[in-house]
A and B are shown apart, each in its own frame.
Chain A
Amino acid sequence: MNIAHWPRILVSKLPGRESAARVPLHLVVPALMVAGAMLLPLAYLLVRAAGADAAAWQQLFRPRIAEVLGRSVLLAFTVTLSANVIAIPLAYLTTRTDLPGRRVWSVITVLPLVIPSYVGAFALIAALGPRGLLQQMLAGPLGLSRLPNIYGFPGAWLTLTLFAYPYVLLSARGALLGLDPALEDAARSLGDSPWMVFRRVTLPQLRPALLSGSLLVALYVLSDFGAVSMLRYTTFTRAIYVQYSASFDRNLAALLALVLVAITVVLLTAEAREQRRARAYYRAAARRRQRVVRLGRWRWPALAFVTLIALVALVIPLSVMAFWLVRGIRAGETFQLLIGPAWRSVLASGLAAGAALLGALPVGLLVVRHGGRFSRLIERTSFVGYALPGIVVALALVFFGANFATPLYQTLAMLVFAYVVRFMPQAVATVRAALLQISPRLEEAARGLGARTPRVLFTVTVPLVRSGLLSGAALVFLTSMKELPTTLLLAPTGYDTLATRVWSATEEAFYARAAAPALLLVAVSALSIGLILARDDAGR
């Protein structure tokens, strides 16, 4: 009973491509503005690369560069794979089943996203390192004097999987909540077991969302610096950082960054091809209540699985931070009030989330409703900067800001703009996935009844993709909260946030002083994402 063979009445297909001439101006103009902004880092890299001399080009073609590149690609591939293995069951368990404490778990399992990778990596080393807390616990009963080395690939893979899987989870959740249960009900009524329903009906429908989430994970891994530097796995991004900090050779760094852009283009093309192969399935107009799947005897293994993930990805890092805090208080450390930094974090990240949503909606509508080559190009463009290391994007905007937008340079507006440039793809990917789930026929119907385009947008489209929009905004908010290089280089002078506080304390190894802002950062982020997910869930 494969879904592909179902009657067309149940499964509608994307409308045929419209010609570029018919693409409405009210989408094209803002989408072009977004694309232009997203291309700034690339423009900067081209300017810098043009200044590279022959020696720099020679450096680029050393065998070592290929080796480091290979590591980046390997890491991105394996982390994406394992993130899916974790996220798909978690998404299903927390949206569809009678898992005990399901609503609480649905928030908890997303929370590892709020832990900055530089904090998470440190915590995992403290806990799982060769002489870490786990070894100390096992030393007595098992007589282990050292655990296997987690430095290098295994540690980097584990850390990035644990802190990046929520990208796939969030997008899979959004899709699961938005699916039309009619298809699943039909399969069930035809005698499929819950497993068969999942594999043959649900999973294929999740494909666009999983691809979107996977793309975000892969690009996140390519651009990560915090985890790979703590775990000493030299990826391409780490090599770029070394160029900046050791030789101050911005031209060679730009050449290296352009290689990363090239990989991103390959990934984007591959994802786009897969997306086109995946069929879009629309849900019904009305939200129908989805059936709760009874886990039965799988209840306890399922619970053990969620608990294990939460333990490693959330409880361990939080405990390490709490340990630093307590140790610092015992040694007489005093703590400053953090209301100011917390407010500044929330303000800048909140504005970035809103702005990213406003930018993502026209791009998403353009590509989903008017998917010509031109639209797809604009949408793909918005991803280019996402795989670049933060330092590259930040320096690009320093260059353009200081020299071509001087009045805006080092203002809050500039910081928000920088966050949007850096994290826009998270909003675009989520919004696109959500839009793919609603049928254009609903909008056509509204238009046919005389509603004008803005009214259709705000009374039909936006309400239907609400949960996708919220997830997109939440992602941008959370990543902005923990973003470091952009904040340090582009915020108004003296605009310290929770993330910069954590950084400035850990950089000089004041762990006790890092603990309070780190815990607050996690708490504020957790609260906001909790609110969003709870509303999302209650809306079912």
Chain B
Amino acid sequence: MTTVRRSTFLVMVLLALLLAACSTAAPEPTDDAADAGIVAEEGAEPQSLVVYSGRNENLVGPLIEQFEAETGIDVEVRYGATAEMAATILEEGSNSPADVFYGQDAGALGALAAEGRLVELPNDILNLVESRFRSADGVWVGTSGRARVVAYNPDNVDPAELPESILGFTDPEWQGRIGWAPTNGSFQSFVTALRLIEGEDRAREWLEGIIANDPVAYSNNMVALEGVAAGEVDVAFINHYYLFRARAEQGDDYPAALYFPPNGDPGSLINIAGAGIIDTAANRAAAEEFIRFLLSEQAQTYFATETYEYPLIDSVEPSEGLPPLSEIESPDIDLSTLSDLEGTLRLLQEVGALE
């Protein structure tokens, strides 16, 4: 009997030690809380903000540091994939520590909005961008734009032979020359747009036509672009900024160029990265200030020059070498409706694009 009690005791001690080790090793959150407490005693508003970011730290980290330096607001950022961050907020429910969700496609923002997890933004924020770049009910706003483009290898393709519309790539002359990334979220948003603009039947025909041309399916936009540069394919359907990043990492002689199909073609859809405020946000004022900052000239210039995305406010020009947003006759659709990916996935599966 004593034996049992002693060994039980031993196990308990070990577990207690383990828990103690864990909790002493996690001082960071407590320290922060203590700091916030001191600030509060001095009479200042406890300014801290929790951002769940589906946007990458390499892209937006420096910008958030600028925000902290300028406002004195302490920002804690949790980085992850856009869909996973949105799912996390949904699972956390009313206990979510998040104040702001900052994601890289309208679909995830739409999913949070559909569950009633986003609150309405003030008009002074919403009115900064064109209505096509914000939600119809005012719960999220686009902060930068990303254009769908056709990347081509100028060594293998004469720009004159590129079709007027993305729909033209079903022509047999493109047999074996196309690269795409059918599992990529931006590509799927494009297909959703195609369904909305051209109708289900045309969208299906287009997908079947492309598949008949034996496209090379890549795992993402960047790999597809690398395929173009390596001459593995002649054209690829990607987002515009990957080319600029490839040039920054691999030099300006990177053998690829961009083509924006004109005339409101779905092939030049402009999607957004955007932000919204969570319904359980503890600090709504700081959250609004953060989103306002993302739409400031400073931040918009950062997007134009550092991430090579499209600024969405009028006073900032896009990066050199990009046609201005007003010249891209992107299709006229409500980006919120792009959250209907279910049908797109079904279509992609049915035509066999996701195998």
Mark A residues whose CB is within 8 Å of B: 24-26, 29-30, 64, 130-131, 151-152, 229-230, 232, 234, 242, 244-250, 327-328, 331, 333, 347, 351, 354-355, 358, 362, 391, 395, 398-399, 402-403, 406, 409-413, 416, 452-454, 457, 485, 488-489, 492-496, 500, 504-505, 507-513
Q: Are A410 and B354 in contact (CB under 8 A)?
A: no
Could you list some 21 contacts between A and B, CB below 8 A? A151-B217, A229-B183, A232-B219, A234-B355, A242-B345, A246-B341, A351-B22, A362-B11, A395-B91, A402-B91, A403-B92, A413-B26, A452-B2, A492-B26, A493-B29, A494-B28, A494-B76, A496-B57, A507-B56, A508-B59, A509-B242
Which residue of B15, B81, B188, B219 is within 8 Å of A358 (Cβ)? B15
Looking at B59, B78, B221, B245, the one whose CB has the most chain A CB atoms below 10 A away is B78
Across the two chains, which residue of chain B brings its CB closest to A491?
A: B78
Using Cβ atoms and an 8 Å threshold, which residues of chain B touch A245? Answer: 81-84, 185
Q: Are A131 and B232 in contact (CB under 8 A)?
A: yes
Q: Are A411 and B29 in contact (CB under 8 A)?
A: yes
Query: Contacts A26-B11, A248-B90, A492-B29 hold; do A504 and B354 have CB atoms under 8 A apart?
Result: no
A131 to B233 CA separation, bound complex (whole angstroms): 11
Query: Contacts A230-B219, A354-B18, A391-B84 hold; do A504 and B91 have CB atoms under 8 A apart?
Result: no
Using Cβ atoms and an 8 Å threshold, which residues of chain A touch B315? Answer: none
Q: Are A398 and B92 in contact (CB under 8 A)?
A: yes
Least distance between B105 CB and chain A CB atoms (Å): 10
8 Å CB contacts to A: which residues of B283-320? Answer: none
A299 to B50 CA separation, bound complex (whole angstroms): 60
A514 to B83 CA separation, bound complex (whole angstroms): 22
Using Cβ atoms and an 8 Å threshold, which residues of chain B touch A452? Answer: 2-3, 6-7
8 Å CB contacts to A: which residues of B171-196? Answer: 183, 185, 188
Least distance between B31 CB and chain A CB atoms (Å): 11
The 9 closest A-B pairs by CB, nearest first: A509-B222, A412-B26, A245-B83, A413-B22, A248-B111, A26-B7, A402-B92, A488-B80, A493-B76
Using Cβ atoms and an 8 Å threshold, which residues of chain A touch B222? Answer: 509
Query: Contacts A29-B8, A229-B219, A413-B26 hold; do A248 and B355 have CB atoms under 8 A apart?
Result: no
Q: Are A250 and B8 in contact (CB under 8 A)?
A: no
Least distance between B339 CB and chain A CB atoms (Å): 8
Least distance between A156 CB and chain B CB atoms (Å): 12
Across the two chains, which residue of chain B brings its CB closest to A420?
A: B18
A296 to B4 CA separation, bound complex (whole angstroms): 54
Which residue of B11, B22, B79, B95 is within 8 Å of A504 (Cβ)? B79
Q: Are B250 and A327 in contact (CB under 8 A)?
A: yes
| Contact mask for chain B residues 1-45; partner A; CB cutoff 8 A; 1 contact, 0 none | 011101110110011001101110110110000000000000000
Q: Are A412 and B108 in contact (CB under 8 A)?
A: no
Residue B326 lies at the interface, judged by CB distance under 8 Å to chain A: no
Looking at A26, A29, A151, A513, the one whose CB has the most chain B CB atoms below 10 A away is A26
A358 to B10 CA separation, bound complex (whole angstroms): 12
Using Cβ atoms and an 8 Å threshold, which residues of chain B touch A354? Answer: 18
Least distance between A263 CB and chain B CB atoms (Å): 21
8 Å CB contacts to A: which residues of B51-91? Answer: 56-59, 76-84, 86-88, 90-91
Q: Are A331 and B250 in contact (CB under 8 A)?
A: yes
Using Cβ atoms and an 8 Å threshold, which residues of chain B touch A229? Answer: 183, 219
| Contact mask for chain B residues 105-146; partner A; CB cutoff 8 A; 1 contact, 0 none | 001100100000000000000000000000000000000000
Across the two chains, which residue of chain B brings its CB closest to A230?
A: B219
Across the two chains, which residue of chain B brings its CB closest to A130?
A: B232
Which residue of B25, B76, B84 is within 8 Å of A485 (Cβ)? B84
Query: Contacts A331-B249, A358-B14, A411-B26 hold; do A248 and B3 have CB atoms under 8 A apart?
Result: no
A391 to B141 CA separation, bound complex (whole angstroms): 28
Using Cβ atoms and an 8 Å threshold, which residues of chain B touch A402? Answer: 91-93, 95-97
A453 to B88 CA separation, bound complex (whole angstroms): 45
Residue B349 lies at the interface, judged by CB distance under 8 Å to chain A: yes
Query: Contacts A247-B341, A504-B57 hold; do A411 and B23 have CB atoms under 8 A apart?
Result: yes
Q: Are A454 and B6 in contact (CB under 8 A)?
A: yes
Least distance between B258 CB and chain A CB atoms (Å): 16
Q: Are A328 and B18 in contact (CB under 8 A)?
A: no
Which residue of A24, A351, A362, A508 is within 8 Å of B21 (Cβ)? A351
Using Cβ atoms and an 8 Å threshold, which residues of chain A touch B14? Answer: 358
A410 to B185 CA separation, bound complex (whole angstroms): 28
Q: Are B87 and A248 in contact (CB under 8 A)?
A: yes
A152 to B217 CA separation, bound complex (whole angstroms): 11
A230 to B342 CA separation, bound complex (whole angstroms): 22
A11 to B309 CA separation, bound complex (whole angstroms): 71
| Contact mask for chain B residues 193-237; partner A; CB cutoff 8 A; 1 contact, 0 none | 000000000000000000000000101111100000010100000
Least distance between A477 CB and chain B CB atoms (Å): 15
Which residue of B86, B111, B220, B251 is within 8 Å of A331 (Cβ)? B251
Q: Are A511 and B249 in contact (CB under 8 A)?
A: yes
Residue B248 lies at the interface, judged by CB distance under 8 Å to chain A: yes
A244 to B91 CA separation, bound complex (whole angstroms): 12
Across the two chains, which residue of chain A brings its CB closest to B27?
A: A412
Which residue of A250, A395, A457, A504 is within 8 Å of B56 (Cβ)? A504
Q: Are A453 and B3 in contact (CB under 8 A)?
A: yes
Across the two chains, which residue of chain A brings its CB closest to B7?
A: A26
Across the two chains, which residue of chain A brings its CB closest to B95?
A: A402
Least distance between B37 CB and chain A CB atoms (Å): 16
A355 to B23 CA separation, bound complex (whole angstroms): 13
Across the two chains, which residue of chain A brings its CB closest to B19?
A: A413
Using Cβ atoms and an 8 Å threshold, which residues of chain B touch A398? Answer: 88, 91-92
A250 to B88 CA separation, bound complex (whole angstroms): 11
A248 to B45 CA separation, bound complex (whole angstroms): 36
A100 to B172 CA separation, bound complex (whole angstroms): 58
A355 to B341 CA separation, bound complex (whole angstroms): 42
Q: Are A131 and B217 in contact (CB under 8 A)?
A: no
Q: Are B83 and A327 in contact (CB under 8 A)?
A: no
| Contact mask for chain B residues 314-349; partner A; CB cutoff 8 A; 1 contact, 0 none | 000000000000000000000000000110110001
A413 to B27 CA separation, bound complex (whole angstroms): 11
Q: Are A232 and B81 in contact (CB under 8 A)?
A: no
Query: Contacts A26-B7, A246-B342, A247-B342 hold; do A232 and B220 have CB atoms under 8 A apart?
Result: no
Across the two chains, which residue of chain A brings its CB closest to B217?
A: A232
Q: Are B18 and A355 in contact (CB under 8 A)?
A: yes
Q: Are A410 and B29 in contact (CB under 8 A)?
A: yes
Across the two chains, which residue of chain B brings its CB closest to A413?
A: B22
Using Cβ atoms and an 8 Å threshold, which residues of chain B touch A489? Answer: 80, 84, 88
A406 to B83 CA separation, bound complex (whole angstroms): 23
Q: Are A26 and B4 in contact (CB under 8 A)?
A: yes
Q: Are A244 and B83 in contact (CB under 8 A)?
A: yes
Q: Are B56 and A508 in contact (CB under 8 A)?
A: yes
Q: Are B79 and A457 in contact (CB under 8 A)?
A: no
Q: Are B84 and A399 in contact (CB under 8 A)?
A: no
Least distance between A491 CB and chain B CB atoms (Å): 9
A465 to B185 CA separation, bound complex (whole angstroms): 49
Taking A25-B8, A495-B28 as given, write out 19 further A-B residue pairs in contact, using a Cβ cutoff of 8 Å, ordered by the A residue number: A29-B8, A242-B345, A246-B83, A246-B344, A248-B86, A248-B108, A327-B249, A351-B22, A358-B14, A402-B95, A403-B92, A411-B23, A413-B19, A452-B2, A492-B28, A494-B77, A496-B57, A509-B220, A509-B223
